[in-house]
């Protein structure tokens, strides 16, 4: 029937079809690039996730590729049901200190929102942020204060630098190394490591001759693990221990009460702090982050 307006199956000659139709001028329903009848007249733009939009607005990200990468990252992390595991996510996007400082989980310009402040010595670019081996970025995140424990925590760091360098790439602790939360990616002795509590009992190390990749050091239970590019490369059972209550640094470890700062030199393209991740969650986390880096053409 040649209706001007079709309230039914939307025949091929209807001007407006409420339902499926081959050549409807307007289609009411879900947004698809191809209609149910196989035509291409129903077109729409997917909505931006509100958490992604809040970050994009705060960081003043105007590049469409970067905006898309951020949105997809958020959607993927939520799709894998791990978004709530994170206390802080640093996408390191936009190419400047002003855009790199923001926490995706809470994009407010406040210490309490764990946005970064940078000491002198960082080089910022589209590929990430590069420390000079004697600098740090303060997250203002105190692990024990924010509910992390020796058997429930993670630190992640996406490194674009292979070279060996002493000492730490991320973390914090107090005098005597009794309650660290830290990671290092490749020291001069070609080791990668993770501290989740007392160094004497809870330090985990493994041989590592290439510092590039996505490192996720995590303790979802008393079993602590180092993941590189989504695969577990080392694990051990930790003993009960306290954990750091001072600010985590990116590009260094801050150990209060005597040792001071201990620095790394790896270009950082992503970092995060949060709860422990299971093997499946860690693998999915890598998939999401690697897709993000690939969209930005800086994957390793």
Query: How many beta carbons lie within 10 A of that of residue 114, not counting itself?
Result: 24
pLDDT digits (tens, 9 = 90+) for 167-224: 999 999 987 788 999 999 999 999 999 999 999 999 999 999 999 999 999 999 999 9
Is 60 exceeded by the pLDDT of residue 134?
A: yes
| Alpha-carbon gap, residue 183 to 215, rounded angstroms | 9
**Residue-wise DSSP of 108-133:** -SSGGGT--EE-TTEEEETTEEEE-S
Mean pLDDT of the chain: 88
Whether pTM > 0.75 for this model: the answer is yes
The domain spans of the chain are 1-45, 50-295
**Strands 128-131 and 122-125: what pairing?**
antiparallel
Q: For residue 137, give the nearest of 167, 162, 101 by alpha carbon.
A: 101
* Amino acid 176: pLDDT: 78
pLDDT digits (tens, 9 = 90+) for 225-270: 999 999 999 999 999 999 999 999 999 999 887 678 999 999 999 9
**CATH topology for the 50-295 domain:** Jelly Rolls (2.60.120)
CA atoms within 13 A on the CB side of 219: 27
């Amino acid at each position: 029937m040649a209706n001007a307006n079709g309230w039914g199956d939307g025949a091929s000659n209807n001007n407006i079809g409420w339902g499926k139709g081959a050549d409807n001028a307007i289609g009411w329903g879900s947004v698809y690039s191809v209609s149910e009848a196989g035509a291409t007249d129903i077109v729409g733009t997917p909505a931006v996730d509100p958490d992604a939009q809040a970050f994009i607005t705060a960081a003043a990200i105007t590049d469409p590729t970067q905006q898309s990468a951020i949105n997809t990252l958020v959607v993927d992390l939520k799709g894998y049901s791990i978004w709530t595991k994170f206390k802080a996510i640093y996408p390191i996007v936009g190419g400047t200190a002003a855009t790199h400082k923001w926490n995706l989980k809470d994009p407010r310009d406040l210490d309490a929102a764990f946005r970064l402040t940078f000491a002198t010595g960082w080089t910022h670019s589209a590929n990430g942020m590069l420390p000079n081996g004697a600098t740090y970025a303060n997250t203002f995140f105190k692990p024990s204060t924010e509910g992390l424990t020796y058997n429930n925590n993670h630190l992640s760091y996406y490194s674009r630098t292979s070279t060996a360098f002493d000492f730490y790439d991320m973390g914090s602790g107090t005098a005597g190394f009794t309650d660290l939360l830290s990671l290092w990616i490749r020291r001069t002795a070609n080791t990668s490591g993770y501290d989740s509590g007392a160094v004497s009992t809870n330090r985990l190390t493994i041989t590592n001759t290439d510092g590039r990749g996505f490192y996720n050091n995590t303790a979802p239970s008393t079993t602590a693990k180092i993941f590189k590019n989504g695969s577990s490369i080392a694990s051990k059972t930790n003993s009960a221990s306290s954990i750091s209550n001072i600010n985590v640094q990116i590009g260094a470890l801050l150990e209060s009460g005597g040792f001071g700062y201990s620095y790394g030199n790896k270009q950082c393209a992503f970092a995060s702090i949060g709860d422990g991740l299971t093997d499946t969650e860690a693998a999915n986390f890598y998939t999401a982050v690697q897709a993000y880096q690939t969209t930005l053409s800086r994957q390793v």
